[in-house]
Chains A and B, each alone.
Chain A
Amino acid sequence: MRRGTLNKTSIILIFFVALSTILSFGFDQMVIRTEDKIRNLNIEYQNINNNLSKHETISETLDSISMGGGLNFTPIILRRNLLIKSYILNEIDRYDFFNRKSNKINAQDLGRMMMKEILEVTDMTIEIRSQYEQLYIINEKIFEKVGKDEYHSLSDLFEADMNPFKKDKDKFFNKNVLVYTKLLGFNYHWIDKSYSDLQEYREKAIKEFRLRDWYDVYKYKMLLFKKIENDMKIMDELSELFILKSDELYKKSNEKLSELKSSHIKKNFYILTSIFFQIVSLLFLLLLFRSFIIKFN
């Protein structure tokens, strides 16, 4: 063996042993590299999925807020004109429509109802604002990222304006809209006062407000509705944007999944091929030994 015992067959066999070992090693390396790739792909896939689920949750929550808001506001907006028309009729009162013979009492009752209605609208707006605000605060960065090209600011949706309708003052009989805003009872206007002061203010309004004032309250309510409706529209559009982004992420996630799956298939293939060449190497080694033993004999 040491001196010229290697014949042509032995050399070929040694060559194949070496080649198979190199191939086996090569495929082993491929397994390691693919495993690295899979690890990175897994992280990317998880990140995309987390992002996707976040966008979907936000969109669903926005839809749910919008749907809930719509269902709560619809009954009020449907009966929007009934009370003010009744009040107008009470003022005219040529037809004896009302049971109570005192127009003043009827007017106060109708006023109380109108006030209740505008307070309902304000309460619902506060509720929507609180739901939206929670969602916005938690996901501020995503909101700004998704909506930055479309909207100037998304943080103030449904926010109560303490000095509202500056541009619409000409639509009111009384240009001092603050008189009506104070009826809503925001802390901003009543910070140093007690709740009984607010109640007193409201009772005073019920007693002293005339048709023009109640028409202003009605106008105030309708402008509030308009503002809510605009904000709802923005919220719906925002939800659409989140859906579009989710679709985009879903596509990306699918692509990553395909890449991941194909890497897994490749890895399995490399493992098996590496084993295959290890066995081939062993086989040629055995053939080499066999050829040596036969030669000794």
Chain B
Amino acid sequence: MKLLKLSLLINYFAIAKNSKRAIFLINVGLFLSIFALSAASISIYIENKVSNLEFEHLQQSRAKSETEKYTKMIIDYKNKLRQYRNLEGSFEQHLEFLRLNQFGKVVSSPNDLQVYALYDIVREEKFMSEFVLILDENNFLFDSDVFTDEEIKNYKIITENVKKTFILLEKLNPIELESIIFQRSFQDLGEEIKSSMRNESKFKYLKDQGQFEKVYNETIYLWEDLETLFSYLLRYMNASLISVDVNLETINEEIIDLSNKEKSIILVAFFLQLLVFIIIQFFEISSVRIALKRKKKL
């Protein structure tokens, strides 16, 4: 059984009124499909832009989380540095307090105060060389507008000081320091006691005595300098975070803006195409009418 009789359809369209109606409906279909085409083209174009922005958003978000991680790391290092400074400061105070009497003077020596502090830095030889390399290679502070000229000048001075101290520390022999700390023989301890007894410089602080006096005092400034450098880094990181936040907000706004634009462009395209369709329909209907009139006259 045939579901559709094609001859019936042909007969249906053979009637002028029916075919006019069908052409009108097809024209509406054509109009809608052209509109759909233009809407799809606009969407392809805008969506491509939005996708790129979303990608940028993702990268910025990752950069933000990385910066936050480094910020946390710098705070941790700063705190660690401060704790070590406090520990060494307290110990120095404790020794100086002991040295107020003869007993304290005899049991304490410059090595007791200075050597471990020096060894603690010198054993991190790799860290020192890497740090100097970072200071040399990354003059990022100068490019940002976070710091005043005075701060940048101060940063340069501190950097130079840190480098000088590291060079001084690199000259120390870690094995010798290690031996003074861990390999003290009974005789060594006895010698140290004797030396402290003989020591007539009782008016000098312990930090200003001994073979490592100069370099030890330099490291006291080194801690301060490192703390200042970390403060600068922290400020730089925070400024970077603010800048990333601003970027993310801008990208968000751009995405919203593009979405709104997409809607508006599609709407405008719809009305323009509707106008074109009406005009075409008007001329087509007019031409059909003229043709019908001619047919009637004939």
Contact = CB atoms under 8 A, between A and B. Distances in A.
Interface of A: 1-2, 67, 71, 74-75, 77-82, 84-86, 88-89, 95, 97-98, 171, 212, 215, 222-223, 225-226, 229, 233, 254, 257-258, 261, 264-265, 268-269, 272-273, 275-276, 279-280, 282-283, 286-287, 289-290, 292-294, 296-297
A222 B103 CA distance: 23
A283 B37 contact: yes
Nearest to B27: A290
Contacts of A97: 102-103, 106
19 contacts: A67-B76, A78-B116, A85-B107, A86-B103, A86-B107, A171-B185, A258-B55, A264-B51, A265-B48, A272-B40, A276-B41, A279-B37, A283-B30, A289-B26, A290-B26, A293-B13, A293-B22, A293-B23, A296-B14
B41 A222 contact: no
Interface of B: 6, 10, 13-14, 16, 19, 22-23, 26-27, 29-30, 33-34, 36-37, 40-41, 43-44, 47-48, 51-52, 54-55, 58, 62, 76, 80, 83-84, 87-88, 90-91, 94, 98, 102-103, 106-109, 112, 116, 123, 181-186, 189-190, 192-193
B43 A88 contact: no
B37 A71 contact: no
Contact of A296 (B13, B33, B34, B98): B13
Nearest to A272: B44
A289 B55 CA distance: 44
B30 A77 contact: no
A81 B44 contact: no
Contacts of B58: 257, 261
Contacts of B123: 233
A74 B181 CA distance: 12
A89 B47 contact: no
Nearest to A95: B102
B26 A293 contact: yes
Nearest to B37: A279
A290 B112 CA distance: 102
A2 B185 CA distance: 115
B17 to A, nearest CB: 11
Contacts of A212: 186
A85 B40 contact: no
Contacts of B23: 290, 293-294
B189 A84 contact: yes
Given A71-B87, A268-B48, A293-B26, 4 more contacts: A78-B91, A88-B190, A89-B107, A282-B29
Given A257-B58, A261-B55, A276-B44, A296 B30 contact: no
Contact of A71 (B76, B83, B91): B83
A115 to B, nearest CB: 18
Contacts of B76: 67
Contacts of A273: 44
B72 to A, nearest CB: 10
Contacts of A71: 80, 83-84, 87
A286 B189 contact: no
A97 B48 CA distance: 86
Contacts of B27: 290
Contacts of A280: 37
Contacts of B181: 77, 80, 222
Contacts of B193: 85, 88-89
Contacts of B19: 293-294, 296-297
B112 to A, nearest CB: 5
